[in-house]
Amino acid sequence: KDFRNSVKPNWCPGCGDFSVQASIQRAAANVGLEPDDLAVISGIGCSGRISGYIKSYGFHGIHGRALPIAQGVKMANRDLTVIASGGDGDGFAIGMGHTVHAIRRNIDVTYIVMDNQIYGLTKGQTSPRSSTGFKTKSTPEGSIEPAINVMELALTAGATFVAQSFSSDLKELTSIIEQGIQHKGFSLINVFSPCVTYNKINTYDWFKEHLTSLGTIEGYDPSNRVQAMQTLMEHDGLVKGIIYQDTQKPSYQELAHGYSKDALSQADLKMDEDTFSELVSEFM
Ligand code: SF4
């Protein structure tokens, strides 16, 4: 199975997003999907281009709205594996409302955020993931706001799968995406994906120095939500691995099963002529 298409990415050389693209392609193949089993829905930003770079169904949506579109796709055709993706500005600023509600809804979508702590496409402004003191064109004296800790927020909102990884660690990232796809419910995967052009602080070397792998923490149990929250707070969110997973909570699809058993895309929508005429008469 080959999830590569003929479109050449126009990301800057060295951009972390290349690894995310490769990891999604590998993960989809590893879990046994075919290109027509997968839909990749993206928002706006450098990362938003990813839906055009993977051989699958794709939809390049509008800013902050990848998740409403992805949820609609999943509800219309639950047989599809749906991945939503975008950047930290897309998902955690303009799209944050959708992110929180998709989390609490536990709809079966995998959301992969390419978190570079800056707005890259618009040439380098402070994002909600930028640290206090971060200097950009929009905060020349340094940002006075703290960065939003999305992993803590996701746990508070009732997330059932919360993970973090790093573009430099292709093997781990691929494995986490596989587990996210296989998770029944909403999976949030935040990927530290350096912007080599505009973010000169949070570089590959910076992440290598600051990230702690959860695999190195003795006794870490990703089913323990309290421990997950404590660990995030102790490490200021700079951890990688599966932070938390709840395999018991039913997904939105499971709860909605009785309401709409089959994928809408496969439903028999034929109706007799009289019913059709009655319906359209309202609009005549
Ligand atoms: Fe990647 Fe930054 Fe270039 Fe955008 S501007 S493609 S985020 S390196």
Cα of 79 from ligand 1 centre, angstroms: 33
pLDDT for res 271 = 79
Per-residue pLDDT of the chain (284 residues), as tens digits, is 799 999 999 999 999 999 999 999 999 999 999 999 999 999 999 999 999 999 999 999 999 999 999 999 998 888 899 999 999 999 999 999 999 999 999 999 999 999 999 999 999 999 999 999 999 999 999 999 999 999 999 999 999 999 999 999 999 999 999 999 999 999 999 999 999 999 999 999 999 999 999 999 999 999 999 999 999 999 999 999 999 999 999 999 888 765 556 666 777 777 788 888 888 887 87
Cα of 121 from ligand 1 centre, angstroms: 7
Ligand 1 pocket mutation pick from 90, 195, 204 by most atoms within 8 angstroms of CB:
195
Q: Name which residue sits closest to atom 1 of ligand 1, judged by CA.
A: 15
**What crossing angle do the helices spanning 170-182 and 17-30 adopt, rounded to 10°?**
50
List all residues whose CB is within 6 A of at least one atom of ligand 1. Answer: 11-12, 15, 17, 46, 116, 120-121, 195-198
Using CB atoms within 10 Å of the CB of residue 79, give its burial: 0 to 12 exposed, 13 to 18 middle, 19+ buried.
Answer: exposed
- Model confidence over 123-137: pLDDT tens digits? 999 999 999 999 999
Q: Report the length, in residues, of the chain.
A: 284
CA distance 214 to 75: 34
Q: Which domains occur in the chain, in start order?
A: 17-281 (3.40.50.970)
Residue 125, φ and ψ in degrees, nearest 5: -115, 160
ipTM value: 0.99
Asked whether the beta carbons of 41 and 102 are under 8 A apart, the reply is: no
Q: Name which residue sits closest to atom 6 of ligand 1, judged by CA.
A: 11
Ligand 1 pocket mutation pick from 8, 10, 11, 116 by most atoms within 8 angstroms of CB:
11
pLDDT for res 257 = 65
> Token pair for residue 36?
């027509």
pLDDT for res 272 = 83
Asked whether the beta carbons of 162 and 155 are under 8 A apart, the reply is: yes
Residue 60, φ and ψ in degrees, nearest 5: -95, 100
Atom of ligand 1 nearest to the CA of 11: 6
Ligand 1 pocket mutation pick from 10, 121, 122 by most atoms within 8 angstroms of CB:
121
Q: Name which residue sits closest to atom 3 of ligand 1, judged by CA.
A: 12
Smallest CA-to-CA distance from 57 within 76, 171, 65, 231 is with 76
Q: Name which residue sits closest to atom 2 of ligand 1, judged by CA.
A: 195
> 247: Cβ–Cβ under 8 A, 6 or more apart, which residues?
160, 183, 184, 223
Cα of 143 from ligand 1 centre, angstroms: 21
Cα of 137 from ligand 1 centre, angstroms: 16
CA distances for 189 relative to 174, 179, 198, 224, 277, angstroms: 11, 10, 23, 18, 48
Smallest CA-to-CA distance from 69 within 48, 46, 53 is with 48
Ligand 1 pocket mutation pick from 8, 10, 15, 114 by most atoms within 8 angstroms of CB:
15
pLDDT for res 194 = 98
> Token pair for residue 19?
């690894």
HSE of 165, CA atoms in CB hemisphere, 13 A = 27
Cα of 123 from ligand 1 centre, angstroms: 9
CA distance 66 to 127: 18
